[in-house]
Amino acid sequence: MPGRRGQTHFVCAKSLGRLSHRVPPFKSNAALAVSLLFAVFLWGGNNAGTKFLVNSWPPIWTGATRFLCASVLLLAGLRWTDWFGGRSELTPDLQRRLWWRGGLSLAAYIVSFNYALRYTSVSHVALYLGASPVWALLWEGRPARHWRSAQRYAAAALALSGVCVLFWPALRSGTSNLTGEALGLAASVLWTNYGRQCRALGANLGGAEITAHTMWRAGIWLLPLGLVESGAAGVPWNWPLVAVQSYCIVAGGVVAFGLWTNALRRWPTSQVLLFNNLIPLSSMAWAHVCLGESITPTFWLAMVLIVAGVVLGQTQFGKPRMNVHLH
């Protein structure tokens, strides 16, 4: 009997060890939540900083140089640290997809994003990007006669109503802001497309690898246009501009992404993506404090509608099925 009781204690200890490994303690969850909030804070500064830069620097040149510099830091992190996970072998087919799907789609996105920031407010562009999960849901399937499809399209209707709220003042005034709003919406769709390409590449690569490899390829795609753009418009140099670009490269391109990747390795993707809803608030706060950008009357209503659409689209209704395994 003593032997059996000892064996029982041993089995229970193994089971508890497995459970403690699978379920992180509260402090770990709290630390992950704080790290994600810090990443959201950094990305808000990145968006406001990009607005500051593209008012003086050519938008394509700004995106190309940032991608090239950030990708070098990410590749170095992959090579000499374990912060971003391991490295994978790049086959010829994977290299081709990284160039033509990942890199090219990221390049198209950043052109639209940077030019949108030149013509409209930071908070509006961030809100358009916040709606991207809803466009992804629509991309995943056609209308069907079941609850999930109805939920998907109800979420899209909420997000689209928020987009209309943002567009309405520009449509009425007929100013150049309409160009910025249209480019912001295009950036949202292009970001969704880039996310879909990353999802496909994720079968062979980790998240940090995808970002690093698509970043430098996007930088190469953009560099010729950026050089032409900078030759025509010029690139003024001063310490504030260099400091902001450095912040965007290190804080927005490496540190924030490292925190995000770390959370994705420990939490479900849907749980991590909910923090995206805070990026418009962070961006608006940074732009208001640092750039003196006014908060438009339509911002709060549009944010409520878009965030409601995103949450509705990501929420799984119904009682989850419990799977119990006895060892």
User: pLDDT digit string (tens) for 16-73?
Assistant: 344 334 444 445 888 888 898 999 999 999 999 999 999 999 999 999 999 999 999 9
CA 72 to chain centre: 19
Q: Alpha-carbon distance 121 to 115, whole Å?
A: 11
- Report residue 307 as tokens: 């965030």
> What pLDDT digit, counting tens, does each position of 214-262 carry?
999 999 999 999 999 999 989 999 999 999 999 999 999 888 887 887 7
Average pLDDT taken over every residue of the chain: 81
Confidence check: pLDDT of 173 > 60: no
pLDDT in tens, 275-314: 877 888 899 999 999 999 888 778 888 888 888 887 777 6
Whole-structure pTM over 0.75, yes or no?
A: yes
State CA 309 to chain mean position distance. Answer: 17
Spell out the domain ranges in the chain.
49-314
Give the model's confidence band at 10: pLDDT under 50 very low, under 70 low, under 90 confident, else very high. Answer: very low
pLDDT tens string 82-123: 776 677 889 999 999 999 999 999 999 999 999 999 999 898
Q: In terms of Cα–Cα distance, which of 91, 114, 77, 79 is closest to 218?
A: 114
